[in-house]
Chain A
Amino acid sequence: MADHLLDARGLNCPLPILRAKKALKDIPIGEILEIQATDPGAVKDFEAFCRSTGNELVDSQAGQGEFHFRIRRGK
């Protein structure tokens, strides 16, 4: 289970990333943010975002037109 949930469904680039960044800032380091999205571009974008920002992409899943990401907040 994720500690925090962000619903980014229906949002297009770059909004899922911008909302995730905002949400991560508000959770304690080490806790996990789960993001729901419908933008297929978010798959590659969350990988790149996490590589560049020191957050950990714990999990990335696709199914039924939706994408679920779990990101552990780094520093």
Chain B
Amino acid sequence: METSGSETKRLSMIVTKGTLDWAYPPFILATTAAAMGLEVTMFFTFYGLALLKKKLDLSITTLGNPGMEMPLMGAHLLMPNLLGALPGVDAMATAMMKNLIKKKGVASIEDLRQAAIESDVQMIACQMTMDLFEFKREDMIDGPVLGGAATYIETATKSDINLFI
């Protein structure tokens, strides 16, 4: 960090979701906060741990998300909730989303994650979830430390902003 001491603001986040769409808010906020001089800690737990895998293969689902609308030829396609149960529909929705991301100049999650690492965002991988889902440390990127709820709470009590995503 460029600055440290009591003047430095801190942001902490609990990252619980591992889908392509939900991967954006935590990484966008983490990188932006770091760029604005905050010390940032991200605690990855449950499905959020997938965001720390070396090889990211993120997708979205239309199931349970009636709010999902995709722009299509000048109109909006309301992604049919029930169709999400059919094979191939989630893959199609994911492909559409990735295409839009590229077209609109939105950063990839890989790029944002790399930017977070380069700006010294501290990452904690939840030890309990690692055990629960039998994730291997070697399948994850190098930076994150392993920790538990107490590690997060200690960080949170020292932070100005705490988010649950």
Contact = CB atoms under 8 A, between A and B. Distances in A.
A11 B32 CA distance: 14
Interface in B102-121: 104-107, 115
Interface string A18-35: 101100000000000000
B28 interface: yes
Contacts, number: 35
B106 A21 contact: no
Question: Main SS of the interface on chain B?
Answer: loop
B36 interface: yes
Of the listed residues A11, A18, A20, A53, the one surrounded by the most CB atoms of chain B closer than 10 A to its CB is: A18
Interface in B6-39: 28, 31-32, 35-37
Contacts of A39: 105
For chain A, the bracket of interface size reads 10 to 19
Contact of B115 (A11, A18, A52): A18
Contacts of A11: 105, 107
Interface residues of B, number: 11
A14 interface: yes
A6 interface: no
A15 B105 contact: yes
Contacts of A10: 105
Contact of A17 (B32, B104, B106): B32
A7 to B, nearest CB: 12
B105 A21 contact: no
A74 to B, nearest CB: 11
A18 B105 contact: no
B28 A14 contact: yes
A21 B35 contact: yes
12 contacts: A11-B107, A12-B104, A13-B28, A14-B28, A14-B31, A14-B107, A17-B32, A17-B35, A17-B36, A21-B35, A21-B36, A49-B35
Interface of B: 28, 31-32, 35-37, 104-107, 115
Interface of A: 10-15, 17-18, 20-21, 38-39, 48-49, 52-53
